[in-house]
């Protein structure tokens, strides 16, 4: 007999607009699985590997900007969700994680598939909820419904994030033959109304008086989704000479007006004084560019961070104001309340950026073939309506070095791990008919190969695999690069190729080892197909590191000679 409160939980999810659930097979979670599968308004997918399943769900929720539910059985299955739960927490992505559990009397009794699941995700969820284990009193039913409402509301309130509901379940887990699920029973819904914070007249007056002291305003957006309204406001601030906007590729706010090539010239001491702001305005999440972070930490500028709520990190060690409002509201205010900025400051930034833009492609063209040139050529051919997922380590750094992108760029920079890169991109393909292109290194790719172990088609998935047969980033970090153990214990050299994986999963596969092969492959790679495609580009870790250093050196000498 399936418990009605479990059916009610599913009804509440549906009534609150949740439409997507990712399930992992198991017996203890059978009542949850069956209730979600049988609800007419909910779409379910089953992914066997829980670690992959959680990143797939996160990739879906990231694009939908609505909660996606995860369901697994008891024991270590719940632990396999943890990497994606942590990533979703720091990326502020709403997930409702539901774990089936043994009843409390069987915890720590050496029963099968039993761990201590209550509050298992600790401080990496917005809230943990322990479902009642019996419903003999009506208040228990009221408590369960209230809990589900609260969890879903919490997952979507700013900042969004994952929540956990742990559900102890006793046998029997399966319904009687012919049993009907009643999704129309009396459900108590608790609606949360979002109210956007605005600036009071008193606060505006205070900010105006402070703005009069600043003439060199530097706006620094962190990682976020594309936003046309914010983009328009930032471009207007630049065009009216009131601020400079410096954008990493993950800000998804790059334009012809913003500074996009800063990673090439920040850190050159000769120019730091001319570029130094007197006010830093930040919003969004983390940055990729270490050069930019170090530059801002060395600055003596005041720092204002714009964010409606939640904890506020002091990334640049100079935070002086947290302004609890939306970026759009603040930049509308800023546009109307600051005079034109310092012309020397503006000219220094724009000339430096333009100098790199005008010469970077020519410099890379002169370099030998390797990852850097391969990514440059690949990015030139990716269609405009593509969502680009980028793996951590070198892939995301190359994309950032190459400047402005018009497509949405997505990367798991919440925890900056390599796990789940493939799975997040797969989740994205389930939400859109647009092409999804994953740019990844070999270590991240093979680490998450179970992302493709399911029964769903992904004809819009394209994978550009940079295979240097090692963790090449360690050659660029001074510490491990100088150690005799580099190759075995840091790079962890491997000989894998993706051709066997492609054959196993029915992907189209193209192999490239030189520039002419790559150029030929790119002529057809993005054309429509009924199968996903993998473009594997082989290179050598040693030569990639040398090429990157050569390009950086040539750019630095070019800048310093001007």
Please check whether residue 246 lies inside any domain of the structure. yes
Q: What is the pTM of this model?
A: 0.94
Q: How confident is the model at residue 562 (pLDDT cuts 50, 70, 90)?
A: confident
Per-residue model confidence (pLDDT) at position 172: 82
Whether 154 and 57 share a structural domain: yes
CATH number of the domain residue 31 falls in: 3.40.50.970
Within 305-402, residue ranges assigned H as helices are 327-337, 343-366, 371-381, 394-401
Label each residue of 286-303 as H, E or C: CCCCHHHHHHHHHCCCEE
Q: Do residue 232 and residue 121 come from a single domain? A: no
Q: Is residue 256 part of a domain?
A: yes
Average pLDDT, the chain: 92
Pair 329, 444 in one domain: no
User: Does residue 175 lie within any of the structural domains?
Assistant: no
Does position 158 have pLDDT exceeding 80, yes or no?
yes
Residue 87 in tokens: 């990533």
| pLDDT tier at 495, thresholds 50, 70, 90 | confident
At residue 471 the predicted structure's pLDDT band, cuts being 50, 70 and 90, is low
Q: For residues 338 and 391, state if they share a domain.
A: no
Question: How many Cα atoms within 13 Å fall on the side-chain side of residue 8?
Answer: 20
User: What's the pLDDT at 341?
Assistant: 85
Could you tell me if 271 and 412 lie in one domain?
A: no
Q: Is residue 306 part of a domain?
A: yes
Range 141-148 contact pairs with CB under 8 angstroms and sequence separation of 24 or more = 141/4, 141/5, 141/8, 142/188, 144/5, 144/8, 144/9, 145/5, 145/8, 145/9, 145/12, 145/187, 145/188, 146/188, 146/190, 148/8, 148/9, 148/12, 148/13
Q: How far apart are CA 127 and CA 161, in angstroms?
A: 9
* Beta-carbon count within 10 A of 187 CB: 16
Angle between helix 541-560 and 343-366 (nearest 10): 140
Q: Is the pLDDT of residue 272 over 80?
A: no
- What local confidence, expressed as pLDDT, does residue 306 receive? 97
What percent of the chain has pLDDT above 90?
A: 80
Q: Which residue has the higher pLDDT, 6 or 173?
A: 6
What pLDDT score was predicted for residue 491?
61
Q: Is residue 197 part of a domain?
A: no
Residue at token pair 């069987």: 106
Domain assignment present for 468 = yes
Beta bridge partners of 389: 410, 438
Q: Which of 111-125, 193-207, 265-279, 471-485 has the lowest mean pLDDT?
A: 471-485
pLDDT score, position 388:
98
Tokens of 390: 């980028």
Please check whether residues 224 and 299 belong to one and the same domain. Answer: yes
Please report the pLDDT score of residue 184 as a whole number: 80
Domain holding 267: CATH number? Answer: 3.40.50.1220
User: What's residue 482's pLDDT?
Assistant: 67
Pair 347, 400 in one domain: no
Answer yes or no: is pLDDT of 245 > 80. yes
Residue 404 confidence (pLDDT) above 90? yes
Asked if residue 421 and residue 519 are part of one domain, the reply reads yes
520-553: per-residue pLDDT in tens? 999 999 999 999 999 999 998 888 889 999 999 9
SS (HEC) of 205-238: HHHHHHHCCCCCEEEEECCCCCCHHHHHHHHHHH
Same domain, 161 and 13: yes
Last residue of a domain, one of 355, 377, 394: 355
Together in a domain, 538 and 409 = yes
207 pLDDT band (50/70/90 cuts)? very high
Structural domains in the chain (count): 3
pLDDT (tens digit, 9 = 90+) per residue, 72-126?
999 999 999 999 999 999 999 999 999 999 999 888 888 888 889 999 999 999 9
**Secondary structure (3-state) at 177:** coil
Lowest-confidence pick of 42-46, 70-74, 98-102, 336-340: 336-340
**Cα torsion angle, 556, 560, 561, 562, sign:** positive
Domain boundary among 168, 191, 226: 168
Which of these three, 289, 320, 355, is where a domain ends?
Answer: 355
Mean per-residue pLDDT, 345-349: 95
What per-residue confidence (pLDDT) applies to 304?
A: 97
Share in percent of the chain as helix, strand, coil (round to 5): 45, 15, 40
d(CA 30, CA 24): 10
Answer whether residue 187 is part of any domain.
no
Tell me what pLDDT residue 489 has: 57
pLDDT for residue 488 is more than 80:
no
- Does one domain contain both 393 and 536? yes
- Nearest CA to 211 out of 343, 321, 346, 345 is that of 321
pLDDT digits (tens, 9 = 90+) for 361-373: 999 999 999 999 9
The mean pLDDT of 414-423, rounded to a whole number, is: 94
pLDDT band per the 50, 70, 90 thresholds, residue 64: very high
Boundaries of domain holding 465: 367-560
Tokens found for residue 476: 């660029």
**Which residues, listed in sequence order, are joined to residue 48 by a DSSP beta bridge?**
none
The answer on 444 and 474 residing in a single domain is yes
Residue 486 has pLDDT above 90, yes or no: no
Peptide bond before 256: cis, by omega within 30 degrees of 0? no
pLDDT for 487 equals 63
**Residue 106 covered by a domain:** yes
Residue 296 has what pLDDT? 94
């Amino acid at each position: 007999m399936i418990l009605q409160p479990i059916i009610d939980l599913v009804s509440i999810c549906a009534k609150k607009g949740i439409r997507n659930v990712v399930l992992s097979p198991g017996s203890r979670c059978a009542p949850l699985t069956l209730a979600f599968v049988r609800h007419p308004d909910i779409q379910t997918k089953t992914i066997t590997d829980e670690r992959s399943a959680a990143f797939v769900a996160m990739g879906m929720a990231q694009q939908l900007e609505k909660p996606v539910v995860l369901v697994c059985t008891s024991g270590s299955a719940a632990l396999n969700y943890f990497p994606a739960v942590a990533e979703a927490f720091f990326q502020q992505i709403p997930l409702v994680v539901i774990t089936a559990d043994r009843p409390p009397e069987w915890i720590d009794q050496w029963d099968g598939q039993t761990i201590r699941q209550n509050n298992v995700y600790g401080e990496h969820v917005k809230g943990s909820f322990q479902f009642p284990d019996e419903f003999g009193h009506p208040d228990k039913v009221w408590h369960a419904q209230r809990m589900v409402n609260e969890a879903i509301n919490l997952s979507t309130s700013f900042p969004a994030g994952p929540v956990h509901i742990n559900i102890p379940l006793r046998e029997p887990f399966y319904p009687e033959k012919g049993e009907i699920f009643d999704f129309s029973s009396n459900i108590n819904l608790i609606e949360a109304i979002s109210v956007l914070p605005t600036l009071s007249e008193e606060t505006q007056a205070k900010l105006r008086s402070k703005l009069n002291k600043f003439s060199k305003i530097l706006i620094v957006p962190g990682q976020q989704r594309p936003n046309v309204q914010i983009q328009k406001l930032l471009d207007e601030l630049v065009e009216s000479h009131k601020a400079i906007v410096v954008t990493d590729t993950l800000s998804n706010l790059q334009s012809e007006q913003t500074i996009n090539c800063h990673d090439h010239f920040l850190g050159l001491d000769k120019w730091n004084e001319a570029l130094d702001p007197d006010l830093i305005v930040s919003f969004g999440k983390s940055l990729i560019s270490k050069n930019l972070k170090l530059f801002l930490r060395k600055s003596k500028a005041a720092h204002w961070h714009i964010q409606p709520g939640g904890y506020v990190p002091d990334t640049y060690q100079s935070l002086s104001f947290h302004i609890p409002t939306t970026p759009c509201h603040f930049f509308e205010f800023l546009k109307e309340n600051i005079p034109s900025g310092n012309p020397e400051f503006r000219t220094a930034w724009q000339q430096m950026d333009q100098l790199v833009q005008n010469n970077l492609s020519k410099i890379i063209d002169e370099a030998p073939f390797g990852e850097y040139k391969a990514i440059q050529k690949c990015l030139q051919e990716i269609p405009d309506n593509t969502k680009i997922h980028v793996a951590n380590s070198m892939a995301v750094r190359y994309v950032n070095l190459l400047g402005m992108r018009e497509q949405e760029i997505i990367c798991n920079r919440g925890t900056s791990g390599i796990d789940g890169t493939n799975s997040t991109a797969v989740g994205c393909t389930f939400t859109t008919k647009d092409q999804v292109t994953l740019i990844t290194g070999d270590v991240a790719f093979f680490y998450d190969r179970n992302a493709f172990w399911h029964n769903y088609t992904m004809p819009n998935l394209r994978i550009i695999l940079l295979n240097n047969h090692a963790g090449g980033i360690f050659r660029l970090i001074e510490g491990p690069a100088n150690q005799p153990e580099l190759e075995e214990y840091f790079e962890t050299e491997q000989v894998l190729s993706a051709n066997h994986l492609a054959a196993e999963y029915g992907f189209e596969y193209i192999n490239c080892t030189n520039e002419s092969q790559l150029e030929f492959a790119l002529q057809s790679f993005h054309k429509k197909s009924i199968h996903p495609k993998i473009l594997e580009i082989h290179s050598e870790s040693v030569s990639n590191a040398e090429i990157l250093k050569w390009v950086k050196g040539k750019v630095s000498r070019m800048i310093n000679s001007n």
